[in-house]
Amino acid sequence: MDFKRHIAARIGAEGLSEDELYSKLALPPNTEMGDFALPCFRLAKTLRKPPVRIAEEIRDGYPADDALVKEVTAVNGYVNFKIDRAFWAQETLGEVLKKRERYGASSEGAGKVVCIDYSSVNIAKPFHIGHLSTTVLGSALYKLHKFLGYEPVGINHLGDYGTQFGKLISAYKRWGSREEIEKGGLRALNALYVRFHEEAEKDPALEDEARAFFKKIEDKDAESVALFEWFKELTLKDVGRIYDLLDVHFDSWAGESFYNDKMQPVVDELREKGLLKESDGAQIVDLEAYGMPPCIILRSDGASLYATRDIAAAIYRKDTYDFYKCLYVVAYQQNLHFKQFFKVLELMGKEWAKDLIHVAYGMVSLEEGAMSTRKGRVVYLEDVIARCIEKARAIIAEKNPSLENKDEIAKTVGVGAVIFGALYNSKIKDITFSYDKVLNFEGETSCYVQYTCARANSVLMKGGSARGYAAQEVLPQEFEVIKQLSDFPAVLHEALEKYEPSYIARYAVDLAQKYNKFYFDCKILGAAEGEKNFRLALTEATLITLKNALSLLGIGVPEKM
């Protein structure tokens, strides 16, 4: 039940709508004051009365026969509302245990398609730690939109176009062999890419050779296209293993090259609408009036750029999916690029340009320092995941050596630690990834949440699922868990509204902490029958909700740890 809505509908405040009151209701810092509070300071100007008087009038006018609200008080300009806690507990547990894995789900997005462009790896380049945020953030947004009734379309906009493929063909023909590449996969390809740059520093003519090979790809030269397709196949095979580990999926793999034949119509339309200007031989859209540098559409040699392809891709996606929103999960370094091409689409008269959203995020680095693909300083994401799984295996062996399926559990814990480590903080923050921090079983980590799930599961295995539970006198430790459980749907809504899966990650940690306090402070299996059943129901509802929260982040939950 939405208690805020219940209260807002019953407050008598002249000149204020139910929705306005609903938005102003907040949680007091101390639950002893009340469960919800209405600050009246901002109402003073509208109602032309002192806040203290407004609070007293709202208190006096609140319906006396409201059985759900046990107490209404006015204190220093605040109206505090206390809910009947037994009713709150009964309502919340009933909702969770009835809906189970659908608890928190909704149909708010029914009929609305949301395109989500994320991960977007480069063909023949390593899937490294820098790809972690876009991959798991995009995947979490995909899962969250689906859970709330939207129709998400996951798009992996592959980097499969550009002179780097000419460089790879040049390097492969000079120093590579099919056997070596088949055996070494992406790492062997990257070694060739690094060698090309080392050799090109000594012999700049190699850059011309690379451009010539890329031109051959564009001209559909059979040998060059075959090599390009082979590089692509090897890349997708390699990254596919990592996507499977991270529970990441896509509906479209249309990369940059897919839009080659869709760019000329964009150029033609820009020209027809008088938006194209020539500048030093290049074709640009002048954005000076909007405080931005020009958006280059064609270089002086006639070649297209990222902006050209992104404009063509946006138009294609609107025509194909008729999206409600189109999200681009890309690092904040690209802020200007997105502002520019969104503005160009707006100037082209595409009214849906307002539905394009850049979900910017910060960078991920390891404690060892920065990376450079060209110089070979690369931290492979696969290695990071493998190391986390290995460390998880060692911790499990030390803490619970007799545990069955240790390898499978270590994999679930290790992979979960990588995902949670990237999603726990606000998306815009830069992250320095620390193996020790993400695998801390007592910190704000997925390991801690998973361990709490294992604890709750153990309680239920010993005590069984609750039957015929009834909330009577609800203790403060129990009520803290109940309130947290009832907040889950609102947290999901806010996470979606702000494209911020960190809200879900932090919620899971908070719920785990509150459950563990309850677990240590209150007997469960040794309690009297009525209390025991209620506490078992509370435990089961906590386990269901934690599993739902972690599942939306792409993290599994072992039964035992």
Answer yes or no: is pLDDT of 224 > 60.
yes
User: Residue 73 pairs with which residues in a beta bridge?
Assistant: 80
Q: Tokens 């003519």 — which residue?
A: 205
Alpha carbons 357 and 363: distance in angstroms, whole number:
19
- The pTM assigned to this predicted structure is 0.90
Using the structure block, give the residue that is written with the tokens 């070694």: 191
Which range of residues forms the domain containing residue 44? 3-83
Q: Is residue 224 part of a domain?
A: no
Which of 481, 485, 499 shows the shortest CA–CA distance to 549? 485
Which token pair is 445? 């980590």
Asked if residue 278 belongs to a domain, the reply is no
pLDDT tens digits, one per residue of 298-328: 988 777 788 999 999 999 999 999 999 999 9
pLDDT for the residue numbered 361: 94
Please give the backbone phi and psi of residue 404, each rounded to the nearest 5 degrees, phi first: -80, 160
Q: Is residue 72 part of a domain?
A: yes
CA distance linking residue 125 with residue 44, whole number of Å:
60
Give 183-249 as a DSSP string. Answer: HHHHHHHHHHHHHHHHHHHH-THHHHHHHHHHHHHHTT-HHHHHHHHHHHHHHHHHHHHHHHHHT--
In this predicted model, what pLDDT tens digit does every residue of 28-79 receive, in sequence order? 877 788 899 999 888 888 788 899 999 999 999 898 878 789 899 999 999 9
Residue 79 lies in a domain: yes
The answer, yes or no, to whether residue 539 has pLDDT greater than 60, is yes
317 lies in some domain: no
| Distance between CA atoms of residues 55 and 51, nearest Å | 6
Tell me how far apart the alpha carbons of residues 228 and 161 are, in angstroms, rounded to a whole number. 10
Q: Are 394 and 336 in contact (CB under 8 A)?
A: no
| Distance linking the first and last C-alpha atoms of the chain | 34
- The domain spanning residue 49 has which CATH number? 3.30.1360.70
- pLDDT bucket at 377, cuts 50 / 70 / 90: low
Structure tokens belonging to residue 460: 């239920």
SS3 readout for 387-421: HHHHHHHHHHHHHCCCCCCHHHHHHHHHHHHHHHH
Q: Within 10 A of 68 (CB to CB), how many other CB atoms are there? A: 15
Residue 373 pLDDT more than 80? no
Decide if 425 is inside a domain: no
Q: For the chain, how many structural domains are there in total?
A: 1
d(CA 505, CA 449): 9
Distance of CA 205 to the CA centre of its chain: 44
Residues 469 and 534: beta-carbon distance below 8 Å? yes
Position 372 scores a pLDDT of 52
**CA-wise closest residue to 509 among 465, 553, 466, 474:** 553
Structural domain includes residue 41: yes
Instruction: Please state the length of the chain.
Output: 561
Tokens 């090259």 found at: 257
Q: Compute how many other C-beta atoms are within 10 angstroms of the C-beta atom of residue 339.
A: 16
Q: Which of 140-154, 293-307, 396-410, 411-425 has the lowest mean pLDDT?
A: 293-307
Whether 275 and 349 have beta carbons less than 8 Å apart is answered as: no
Nearest CA to 422 out of 293, 304, 553 is that of: 553
388 φ, ψ to 5°? -65, -40
| 374 band by pLDDT with thresholds 50, 70 and 90 | low
Residue 170 lies in a domain: no
